[in-house]
Amino acid sequence: MHFPYAFRLAVSYAVEDVHLDVVFELTNTGEEILPASLGGHPAFNWPLLPGLPKEAYGISFSHEEAAPIRRLKDGLLRAKPEATPIKGKFLALSEQLFADDAVILDRPVSHSIRYGADRGPAISVSWQIWSKPQGTSLLCIEPWYGFASPSDFDGDFFDKRGIMKLAPAKTQILKYRIGVG
């Protein structure tokens, strides 16, 4: 199978002090509108500090996140949103939180988060949160433009909610930063 749209994707990485900057540069090299969804999948040790239980960790958002979250079933968005487990600006982490797969914020207010415990190292990033349930030692915090298809979606890819639509000869630059401290 061949993707039917012409495009150029350049990904660059730069390290500055305790930060890793990741830049996606997507250019529509074709003659028609380019529908796209693009993002990252960085994963971090969970727990960051050996000896601390996973439940000692949480994610602090830069703004209150009161909107409902989305969940997946068989790789597709469930039809109905769920009440957010985020209390104000804080999401307590536990294995149980990910028993139903990803916690997806499809309308985040925040532009940054901090992942850590009351003591020890912390990591700052931007966007969507995912972790494999039960027994994994990784927490993924995924910055994305777009998300999985809803389970009841049977339309054209162009009409899918959250899709970027890039005009011919236009470039979209997407960035995220990971900081360690």
CATH number, domain with residue 134: 2.70.98.10
Residue 2 lies in a domain: no
Tell me the average pLDDT across 124-152: 68
Tell me the average pLDDT across 46-57: 92
Query: What is the pLDDT confidence band of residue 11, given thresholds at 50, 70 and 90?
Result: very high
Nearest CA-CA partner of 74 in 6, 180, 171, 150: 150
Residue 154 lies in a domain: yes
Helix or strand (DSSP H, E) at 15: strand 7-16
Alpha-helical regions (H) of 36-181? none
**To which residue do tokens 């209150």 refer?**
64
Query: What is the pLDDT confidence band of residue 142, given thresholds at 50, 70 and 90?
Result: confident
Residue 136 lies in a domain: yes
Helix or strand (DSSP H, E) at 34: strand 34-36
- High-pLDDT (> 70) share of the chain, %: 92
Domain coverage including residue 101: 7-180
In the prediction, which pLDDT does 32 show?
95
The predicted model scores a pTM of: 0.81
| Number of domains, the chain | 1
Residue 1 lies in a domain: no
CA distance 1 to 136: 33
